[in-house]
Structure 1
Amino acid sequence: MSLSDLNMDDFKLDVKPETNPCKGLVFRFSNTICITSHRGFMQRKELRLLKRRSCTGCEKCGWIEDYIYEELEQGDNKDFNLMRDLEHGKMYTPHFESSRDWESGHYEIDDMYMTEVV
């Protein structure tokens, strides 16, 4: 058998290229200050998920939005400083610092912070 007798189709792998690479989640930050009807001031900070710019929810980032909501619902958000040092109107993506619990082998999230999307 010579090299000319070999069919190149026999050597093709069934590896499909990733069609939609993960873009992560992208949020827009807004900070508004209003005067209430009782002559008080109200400040509202909002991180709005931009669905068109974000990933549709793959294995890499599908859990992030649920994690954020879970942290806020627990009410113990004194360490949850997600909206510190953010500027109005800019877009941000979340990043995590984690450590491994050597007893259980699971990873735990130590800190979450936002970085600006350029």
Structure 2
Amino acid sequence: MKVIYPSLVEQAFDLYVKQYGTVPPSKVNKLKSYIYKALVKNGILDQNGNSTQKAKDDGLVESFTPNKDGEYEPETVRDLKLMYPMYAQFSDNHFMKSSQGWLADAYVIRSISSQVLNNPFSD
């Protein structure tokens, strides 16, 4: 079963990977679970995975707005790149915000797809 974690958990996991390197696939869910529990314990997320007022006060979701599903979406390309660091390598003109959410052009999609497919640790 694949667990879907809140975006703040995914952000923290991405930062961990950037700082410490690749995590073996067998340890990914365990690490994400640990991060989730730590964020709940520290009052950043509630038990349902929603951002708390403390997270907003601390600036972790400051420039994000909830979408129709209750998840936070970045309002600017800069914030999109902060939330999803894999997009930082691309120029801002490759992204556009629509009423459906953020869109990336085919160049970004092809590049990210190639990176994932060529990563031996990707599942």
Q: Which has the larger radius of gyration?
A: 1
* Greater relative CO (CA pairs within 8 A, separation 6+): 1
**What TM-score does the superposition give when structure 2 sets the normalisation length?**
0.21
Scaled by the length of structure 1, the TM-score of the pair is: 0.21
- Structure with greater proportional strand content: 1
